[in-house]
Amino acid sequence: MKKGKLHSICISPERGQLKTEVEQARLIENYGIENDGHAGEWGRQVTCLNWASVLKANKEHNLQVGPGAFAENLLIEGLELVEVGVGGKLKIGDDAILQVSQIGKEDHPSVVTRTLGVTLLPYEGLFCKVIQGGSIKRDDPVEVL
């Protein structure tokens, strides 16, 4: 089983905003991250992005951005997320399990593109549903099931 770690957790109260980093969060089954604007009964409850992709974008586009700048919820280190695949599962911490519902999305003008001039989620983002809730915190282990 492949393992990585949770680099950061970010939330925003509404959709269409950059996200703010938090130390810990609660994943709610069939809903998403507590207090996040993307939570709800749909397939894109939680967005995951590879931390290495943010570092690469910083270098290639002369940026200096960190967690939340690409409107992602979770930045994960040490895993090739695109290899997880639709239907694949990620266990975070002791209890929480996400299932990938979609990889990438339609690229449309967004707050990220307007702010940074570059976007990652439409091409590399994992969009997930929470199939088992639990508390998560920075540096928790992330495992492909």
Residue 76 and residue 99: Cα distance in Å, rounded? 15
Q: Are 112 and 69 in contact (CB under 8 A)?
A: yes
pTM above 0.95, yes or no: no
User: What is the number of structural domains in the chain?
Assistant: 1
Residue 137 and residue 145: Cα distance in Å, rounded? 19
Q: Are 57 and 98 in contact (CB under 8 A)?
A: no
CATH code, domain with 136: 2.40.33.20
Q: Are 100 and 126 in contact (CB under 8 A)?
A: yes
Provide the domain limits for residue 83.
3-144
Q: What per-residue confidence (pLDDT) applies to 46?
A: 96
3-state helix, strand, coil in the chain (%, to 5): 15, 40, 45
| pLDDT tens digits in sequence order for the chain, 145 residues long | 689 999 999 999 887 777 889 999 999 999 999 999 989 888 889 999 889 888 887 787 777 877 877 778 999 999 988 788 899 999 999 999 999 998 765 655 555 545 655 665 545 778 899 999 999 999 999 999 9
Q: What per-residue confidence (pLDDT) applies to 67?
A: 84
